[in-house]
Amino acid sequence: MNYVILSKHATCSTKCVSGLDLFDSCSGTLMEVGHCFLDGSADAVEFCGHESYHNVLAASTYVLQEGDQPTRSGSITLFDVDAEAGRFELIQKVETAGIFDIKWSPGLLPLLAQADADGCVKLYSLPCSGSDSAELGSNCLTEVQGKCISSSMCLCIDWNSHATSVAVGLSDGSVSIVSLDESQLNILQEWKAHDFELWAASFDIQQPMLIYTGSDDCKFSCWDLREDPSQLVFQNTKAHKMGVCCIAKSPHDPNGLLTGSYDEHLRIWDTRLTSRPVSESSICLGGGVWRVKHHPHVPGLVLTACMHNGFALVKFRADQVEVIETYTKHDSLAYGADWQRGNAFVSGKKKRSAIATCSFYDRLLRVWTPQSDNVFE
Residue 73 pLDDT > 70, yes or no? Answer: yes
Amino acid at 48: C
Domain boundaries, the chain: 15-368
pLDDT category at 31 given cuts 50, 70, 90 is: confident
Per-residue pLDDT of 93-143, as tens digits, reads 999 999 999 999 998 899 999 999 999 999 999 996 554 444 555 569 999
Helices (H), the chain: none
Asked whether the beta carbons of 174 and 199 are under 8 A apart, the reply is no
**From CA 222, how far away is CA 231, in angstroms rounded?**
9
**From CA 316, how far away is CA 294, in angstroms rounded?**
11
Per-residue pLDDT of 311-337, as tens digits, reads 999 999 877 899 999 999 999 999 999
Give, as one character, the DSSP assignment of residue 344.
-
What SS3 class is residue 57?
strand
Asked whether the beta carbons of 340 and 88 are under 8 A apart, the reply is no
pLDDT category at 174 given cuts 50, 70, 90 is: very high
Give, as one character, the DSSP assignment of residue 341.
P
Per-residue pLDDT of 181-228, as tens digits, reads 877 999 999 999 999 999 999 999 999 999 999 999 999 999 999 988
* CATH-assigned architecture of domain 15-368: 7 Propeller (2.130)
Asked whether the beta carbons of 159 and 105 are under 8 A apart, the reply is yes
